Structure 1
Amino acid sequence: MDTLARTIEILRDLVAFPTVSSDSNQDLIAYIANLLQDCGATVDVITAPCGNKANLFATLGPEVDGGILLSGHSDVVPVTDQNWSSDPFALTERDTHLFGRGTCDMKGFIAATLAMAPYFAAQIKARPLHFAFTYDEEVGCFGAQHLAQKLQDRGLTPGVAIIGEPTQMRIIEGHKGCYEYSTHFRGLEGHGSAPDLGVNAVEFAVKYVARLLELKQALQGMAPSDSPFDPPWTTVNVGAMNGGVAHNVIASKAQVDWEMRPVQASDAEFVKSALRQTCETDFLPKMRTVHPEATIELETIGEVAGLIPTDKNEARQIVSELTGANGADLVAFGTEAGIFQALGTDVVVCGPGSIEQAHKADEFLSLDQLSQCLTMLSRLGDRL
Structure 2
Amino acid sequence: MLTRIEDILATLVAFPTVSARSNLELVDWVARFLSDAGFSVTRIAAEGEPKAGLLARFGAGQGGTLLSAHTDVVPVEGQRWSVEPFALTPRGDRLHGRGTTDMKGFVACVLALAETLRATPPARPVSIALSWDEELGCRGIPQMIDRVIPTLGRPDLCIVGEPTLMRLGLGHKGKASFRATCHGTAGHSAMAPRFTNALHLAADLIAALRSEQARLLREGAQDAAYDIPCSTVHAGRMQGGVALNIVPDLAEVLFEIRHLASETTEEILARITADLPAGVEITPTGAYPGLESDPATPAIAAFAALLPDPAPVKVSYGTEAGFFAARGIPTVVCGPGTMDDGHQPDESIARDQLALCAAILARQLRG
The normalised TM-score by structure 2 is: 0.94
Residue 19 of structure 1 is matched in structure 2 by 17
Are the structure 2 counterparts of residues 364 and 227 from structure 1 closer, same or farther at C-alpha, using a change threshold of 3 Å?
closer
Offset of 1:277 from its aligned partner?
3.4
Unaligned runs of 5+ in 2: none
Choose the corresponding residue for 1:272, options 263, 269, 272.
269
Offset of 1:140 from its aligned partner?
0.8
Choose the corresponding residue for 1:31, options 29, 33, 49.
29
1:327 and 2:311 matched = yes
Residue 156 of structure 2 is matched in structure 1 by 159
1:290-338 CA distance string (max 9 Å, x none):
xxxxx43223222111111324334432332322323211121111111
Residue 290 of structure 1 is matched in structure 2 by none
Residue 362 of structure 2 is matched in structure 1 by 378
1:220 and 2:217 matched = yes
1:210-267 CA distance string (max 9 Å, x none):
1111111222344446664343321112222121122211112211121121113644
Q: Is the 8 A contact 1:119 1:381 kept in 2?
A: no
1:175 and 2:172 matched = yes
Choose the corresponding residue for 1:302, options 274, 286, 298.
286
Residue 142 of structure 2 is matched in structure 1 by 145
Q: Is the 8 A contact 2:170 2:295 kept in 1?
A: no
The normalised TM-score by structure 1 is: 0.90
Q: Within 5 A, what are the aligned runs for 1:50-61?
A: 50-61=48-59
Offset of 1:154 from its aligned partner?
5.8
Residue 289 of structure 1 is matched in structure 2 by none
Are the structure 2 counterparts of residues 152 and 206 from structure 1 closer, same or farther at C-alpha, using a change threshold of 3 Å?
farther
Give me the whole-angstrom Cα distance separating, in 2, the residues matched to 1:379 and 1:311.
Answer: 19
1:254-283 CA distance string (max 9 Å, x none):
11121121113644211222344334xxx1
Give me the whole-angstrom Cα distance separating, in 2, the residues matched to 1:113 and 1:27.
Answer: 19
Percent of residue pairs bearing the same amino acid type: 38
Q: Within 5 A, what are the aligned runs for 1:72-111?
A: 72-111=69-108
Query: Greater shift after overlay, 140-149 or 27-36?
Result: 140-149
SS at match of 2:306: helix
Counterpart residue type for residue 177 of structure 2: E
SS at match of 1:119: coil
Query: Greater shift after overlay, 102-111 or 250-259?
Result: 250-259
Q: Is the 8 A contact 1:242 1:256 kept in 2?
A: yes
Give me the whole-angstrom Cα distance separating, in 2, the residues matched to 1:344 and 1:203.
Answer: 45
Residue 48 of structure 1 is matched in structure 2 by 46
Q: Is the 8 A contact 1:120 1:381 kept in 2?
A: no
Give me the whole-angstrom Cα distance separating, in 2, the residues matched to 1:154 and 1:366.
Answer: 34
Choose the corresponding residue for 2:249, options 252, 272, 284.
252
Q: Is the 8 A contact 2:221 2:231 kept in 1?
A: no
Choose the corresponding residue for 2:300, options 307, 312, 316.
316
Count, aligned residues:
367
1:185 and 2:220 matched = no
Give me the whole-angstrom Cα distance separating, in 2, the residues matched to 1:167 and 1:205.
Answer: 38
CA RMSD, Structure 1 to Structure 2 (Å): 2.0
Q: Is the 8 A contact 2:56 2:128 kept in 1?
A: yes
Unaligned runs of 5+ in 1: 285-294
Are the structure 2 counterparts of residues 107 and 225 from structure 1 closer, same or farther at C-alpha, using a change threshold of 3 Å?
closer
Q: Is the 8 A contact 1:93 1:99 kept in 2?
A: yes
Give me the whole-angstrom Cα distance separating, in 1, the residues matched to 2:299 and 2:251.
Answer: 45
Are the structure 2 counterparts of residues 126 and 96 from structure 1 closer, same or farther at C-alpha, using a change threshold of 3 Å?
closer
Choose the corresponding residue for 1:68, options 61, 65, 70.
65
Q: Is the 8 A contact 1:222 1:233 kept in 2?
A: no
Give me the whole-angstrom Cα distance separating, in 1, the residues matched to 2:152 and 2:127.
Answer: 15
Offset of 1:348 from its aligned partner?
1.1
Are the structure 2 counterparts of residues 32 and 151 from structure 1 closer, same or farther at C-alpha, using a change threshold of 3 Å?
same
Offset of 1:343 from its aligned partner?
0.8
Query: Greater shift after overlay, 248-257 or 117-126?
Result: 117-126
